[in-house]
Amino acid sequence: MTRRLSILLTTVTVTLLMALATSMVLAEAFTDPVGDTFDAGGSLTTADPFIDLTNVEFYTIGGTLWVKMTLAGVLPAGPIQNTFIEWDMLVDVDGNNATHGWGQWPLIDNGIGVDVLVRVGLVPPGVTDAMPAGGYIGQFSDWTGAYSPRTFTDFQVNQNTVAFPLGNPADRPTTTGRGVAAVRKYSPPTTFQSGDKAPNEGYFTFVNGAVTVVPEFPAVLLTLGAAMILGIAILRRAKSAKRAFT
């Protein structure tokens, strides 16, 4: 009985440790579930198909990392009255959760310290003098000095995909750091209505154009793993103590 329990605990622990060891997977394209869009409280909610991420792909053009997001439906052909939508890449440049120019919003950023927001937004008519008719706009924000997002125009919106470069439009360096892809819909433009993100837990890491995903393991699993290791040690000690007295 004790031996069986020990074997079972060992097997489960080894499985858990293997899962932890293999959680960093090198890849360039990452899938996201269909239908996992959420509301401002984080609860599942029905959303427009162009809010629902299904795939996030990374590739390099001229030394700059690009992201291409695939959605469950075709993106709007033009601006929508009283509605703002954005397809975001939230980037933690310094890998430090304590620095976050954009603020903190775990529902969207999964807890990383976001220093840079690169996005393609769909601006409604009549809200900005720079774009009175509304439309798609590319923006890079890093919150250095006065808040003044840099715009860029070489983003691509095509059917159910949106692609854009992650580098600063001023010099377009290769982006390094960590990131989360997100989609947000505000309607009216100041009220979060629905969103999606990828990965759903954890973040992507960028190193010289190579991207990995690091899913953060729930603390309960790590605690369970540690408890099992402790349990095995206690069982083995008890067993050897029993042997010593027989």
Q: How far is CA 180 from CA 115, 129, 174, 204, in A?
A: 12, 30, 17, 6
> Smaller CB distance to Ca ion: residue 47 or 137?
47
User: Do 135 and 122 touch, CB atoms closer than 8 A?
Assistant: yes
Q: Give the binding range for Ca ion (CB under 5 A) out of 50-58, 89-97, 205-213, 228-236.
A: 50-58
> Smaller CB distance to Ca ion: residue 167 or 195?
195
Taking the complex as a whole, the smallest distance from the CB of residue 35 to Ca ion amounts, in Å, to 7
Q: Determine, following the binding rule CB under 5 A, whether residue 39 of this chain makes contact with Ca ion.
A: no
> In angstroms, rounded to a whole number, what is the distance separating the alpha carbons of residues 9 and 232?
7
Taking the complex as a whole, the smallest distance from the CB of residue 184 to Ca ion amounts, in Å, to 12
Q: Which two tokens stand for residue 36?
A: 């996992």
> In angstroms, rounded to a whole number, what is the distance separating the alpha carbons of residues 66 and 175?
9
Q: Give the count of residues interacting with Ca ion (CB under 5 A).
A: 7
Binder to Ca ion among 32, 48, 88, 142 (CB under 5 A)? Answer: 32
**Cβ count within 10 A of residue 67:** 24
User: Do 199 and 212 touch, CB atoms closer than 8 A?
Assistant: no
Taking the complex as a whole, the smallest distance from the CB of residue 129 to Ca ion amounts, in Å, to 34
> Smaller CB distance to Ca ion: residue 38 or 140?
38
Q: Which two tokens stand for residue 151?
A: 């715009």
Crossing angle, helix 2-21 and helix 219-244, to 10 degrees? 150
User: Do 204 and 213 touch, CB atoms closer than 8 A?
Assistant: yes
**What residue number has its CB nearest to Ca ion?**
32
Taking the complex as a whole, the smallest distance from the CB of residue 108 to Ca ion amounts, in Å, to 11
Q: Which of residues 211-240 bind Ca ion (CB under 5 A)?
A: none
> Smaller CB distance to Ca ion: residue 52 or 115?
52
Binder to Ca ion among 53, 91, 118, 211 (CB under 5 A)? Answer: 53
Q: Give the binding range for Ca ion (CB under 5 A) out of 8-16, 27-35, 115-123, 146-154.
A: 27-35
Binder to Ca ion among 23, 36, 95, 214 (CB under 5 A)? Answer: 36
Count of helices and strands (H, E) across the chain: 3, 14
Binder to Ca ion among 38, 50, 51, 52 (CB under 5 A)? Answer: 52
Nearest to 213 by CA among 22, 20, 18, 25: 25
Q: Which of residues 176-205 bind Ca ion (CB under 5 A)?
A: 196, 198, 200
Binding site for Ca ion (CB under 5 A): 32, 36, 52-53, 196, 198, 200
